[in-house]
Amino acid sequence: MEIRDRYAPSPTGNQHIGGVRTALFNYLFAKSKGGKFILRLEDTDRTRFDEAFVQNLYDTFNWLNIHWDEGPDIGGPSSPYVQSERFELYKKAAEELIAKGKAYRCFCSSERLDNIRAEREASGSSETGYDRHCRSVSAEESGRRAAAGESFVIRLNIPLEESTKFHDHILGDIEWKNADVNPDPVLLKSDGFPTYHLANVVDDHLMNISHVLRAQEWIPSTPLHVIMYRAFGWTPPEYCHLPMVMGQDGKKLSKRHGATSIDEFRKAGYLPEALINYVALLGASYEEGKEIYTLEELAERFSLDKLNKAPAIFDYKKLEWYNGQYIRMMTDEALAEAALPYAVKAALFGSSGAAAVPSAEQKKTFIAAMPLIRERISFLHEAPEKLAYLFSEPPVPAAEEFIPKKADLARTAELLSLGRGLIEPMAVLNDADAEAYIKSWCEEHDIKLGDIMMPLRVAITRARVSPPLFGSIRILGAKQSLERIDAALGTLRAALETSKETR
């Protein structure tokens, strides 16, 4: 049997963590079995449908590098893959069920249904759903009324004195009393639109879907779907209801826990590889002791047997760790390319417009600066702030910012002046050689390394905490580094004069 599974979102909102995890697990399962992964758009909810959400779907999965084998944008043997383009198939299927006596036309007006609800509420009745009033209408009368133009919906004839069983790959055998299934639900509306349940079952059958992997919140719908499969005389697919994704508080993941839409994660500077790696582990295990996986490695190791029953907890700190790990694995060029849009948005290279785009020299500097921040950022959006001192000269800090421990203002000015003489040699040395050079100089002059590094760091980067000093000097060059030191010495000497005058 060829494995065929699908991701079938309703384009009524942007893609979020829960939906992407469902798509990812379907993708990994299909790839692990040499099968086909299919995208289908369930767009029958026209009140909330928006083409922008369809575009967001495509953009999201292109960014994640997850690609389907069949879908609305690339076609396939089961085209079309958009439900609103398949209405004739649903109408034909519903009429087939009527002919088999497994469904019937319901002529009840909306007013009658409203009255039933009101009467039940008034009497405190526990009954819900349709009262099956039209179930007893004969086939002859039903046909006559339909031919006369009377409005109707088509409802499924739920077997009453039975129960429905199905097997789930995670939860095992499940049995559901038919009395607890939604009473004779609508399959086809009076305007010819199918309900979700009819379209879902018909599409899965006609697209030869072998496995349905979806969230556990869909379990209550499964008995109804199995009843429909049996009514048609079709074999249901195999089911696997995935554990829910929860926040740290044990409640379903939502905006109150933080970002949930993929756009939010993308704008925050997460890498697609990190997001995929982490999401793939939400409710699944792969290999003992291994945490970093490529998409290909995940597909090789994925198994339904390794899915968990318990809900998965979404840990933003763990995702941040993954993002940092992937940043550290990137080459200078790849990291610069990924961080560049954030730098442009932050106006790192200019104020606005065309000036915000880096010149060839600025881009070269940006790439060269990647080793300075690779170990110091967890998100791409942090890069511009950490590198701002390389592209524009920040103000000279207050004099006290330069002072090392147990030193005073006069000694700090002296140390910075001595350090000035080390700049030109260090500007052409690699990190290891520059460190060896300044250590040797400090030992020769009986000066603690930290005492001279602090004022130099503040003078060059204009901050006490900054990316590595040696790399910063090398990127800025001797001339610009010396100019910054001279400006800092001016601040220190002015502060010294002021302190003398106030004594």
| Beta bridge partner(s), residue 313 | 246
The answer to whether residue 404 sits within a structural domain is yes
Shared domain check, 338 and 293: no
Q: How far apart are the C-alpha atoms of 459 and 452, rounded to whole Å?
A: 11
- Give dist(CA 122, CA 144) in Å, integer: 35
Instruction: Give the span between the Cα atoms of 329 and 327, in whole angstroms.
Output: 5
CA distance 381 to 344: 10
Give the domain CATH number at 296: 3.40.50.620
Rg (CA), the chain: 33
Question: Is residue 250 a part of any domain in this protein?
Answer: yes
Q: How far apart are the first and last CA of the chain?
A: 92
Residue type, 336: A
> Domain boundary residue among 366, 388, 410?
388
Structure tokens at 231: 């009514």
Half-sphere exposure of 118 (CA within 13 A, CB side): 6
Quick check: 308 and 285 in contact, CB under 8 A? yes
Say if CB 339 and CB 387 are below 8 A apart. Answer: no
Q: Where are the beta strands (DSSP E) in 322-463?
A: none
Query: pLDDT tens for residues 31-54?
Result: 999 999 999 999 987 788 889 999
Of the residues 304, 324, 344, the one at which a domain ends? 324
Q: Are residues 335 and 316 in the same domain?
A: no
- Determine the 3-state secondary structure of 334 from DSSP: helix
Are residues 349 and 307 both part of a single domain? Answer: no
Residues in the chain where the model's pLDDT stays below 70: 255, 258-259, 351-355, 503
Annotated active-site residue 255? The verdict is: yes
pLDDT of residue 354: 53
Q: Which helix (H) or strand (E) holds 242?
A: strand 238-242
User: Do 448 and 418 contact (CB within 8 A), yes or no?
Assistant: no
For the chain, counts of helices (H) and of strands (E):
20, 11
How much is the pLDDT for 127?
Answer: 84
**For position 341, which CATH number holds?**
1.10.8
Q: How far is CA 263 from CA 40, 56, 63, 254, 447, in A?
A: 21, 8, 10, 14, 52
In a domain, 27, yes or no: yes
Residues 307 and 270 in one domain: yes
- The confidence score (pLDDT) of residue 352 equals 58
User: In the listed set 296, 324, 352, which residue is the last one of a domain according to the structure?
Assistant: 324
- Choosing from 100, 165, 255, 479, which is the catalytic residue? 255
User: What is the residue range of 363's domain?
Assistant: 330-388
Does 482 lie in the same domain as 447?
yes
The reported pLDDT for the residue numbered 122 is 87
For the chain, the domain total comes to 3
Instruction: Report the C-alpha gap between 252 and 423 in whole angstroms.
Output: 56
Picking from 214, 209, 278, 284, the residue whose alpha carbon sits closest to that of residue 242 is: 214
Helix axes 87-99, 196-206, angle to 10 degrees: 100
Burial environment of residue 44 by CB neighbours within 10 A (0 to 12, 13 to 18, 19 or more): buried
In a shared domain, residues 403 and 432: yes
Q: Which two tokens stand for residue 456?
A: 């130099």
Contacts of 13 (CB under 8 A, 6+ apart): 48, 53
Residues 411 and 449 in one domain: yes
Note whether 24 and 32 are within 8 A (CB): no
For residue 430, tell me if it sits in a domain: yes
Strands 186-188 and 153-156: antiparallel
Residue 339: CB atoms within 10 Å: 26
d(CA 389, CA 472): 9
Q: In the structure encoding, which two tokens stand for residue 51, read together?
A: 């083409």
The answer to the question of residue 120 being in a domain is no
pLDDT value at position 499? 77
pLDDT for 364 equals 97
Tell me whether the omega of the peptide bond preceding residue 80 falls within 30 degrees of 0, making it cis.
yes
Least Cα distance to 402 among 484, 498, 500 occurs for 484
